[in-house]
């Protein structure tokens, strides 16, 4: 049991920025976009009998990350013709 960490007992578990102003490179933004896409497709945090699902909280976090990425990456326009 010495290797277990209980977050309920933690006083301060929220991440904090190290600086008031931060920058992110283009390659970092692309890497973050790839990670968010991977989590969107392959990761689940709720378990059912034969499959998994994303909780409302995970879906909200993913949406927040997509909104943030929309401000960082200029996605190409896709023509649906």
Compute the half-sphere exposure of residue 37: CA atoms within 13 Å on the CB side of its CA.
7
Q: Using the predicted structure, report yes or no on whether residue 9 has a pLDDT greater than 60.
A: no
* CA separation for the pair 42, 61 (Å, rounded): 15
Q: In the prediction, which pLDDT does 4 show? A: 57
Q: Using the predicted structure, report yes or no on whether residue 18 has a pLDDT greater than 90.
A: no
pLDDT tens-digit readout, 25-65: 999 999 999 999 999 999 888 887 777 888 899 999 999 99
Residue of 57, 67, 75 lying closest to 36 (CA atoms) = 67
* CA separation for the pair 60, 33 (Å, rounded): 16
- Is pTM beyond 0.85 here? no
Residue 47 DSSP SS3: strand
> For residue 1, what pLDDT band results from cuts at 50, 70 and 90?
very low
């Amino acid at each position: 049991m010495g290797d277990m960490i209980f977050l309920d007992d933690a006083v301060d578990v929220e991440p904090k920025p190290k600086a008031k102003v931060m920058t992110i490179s283009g390659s970092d933004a692309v890497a973050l976009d790839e990670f968010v896409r991977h989590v969107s497709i392959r990761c689940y945090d709720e378990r059912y009998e034969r499959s998994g699902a994303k909780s409302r909280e995970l879906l909200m976090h993913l949406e927040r990350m997509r909104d943030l990425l929309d401000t960082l990456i200029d996605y190409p326009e896709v023509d649906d013709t």
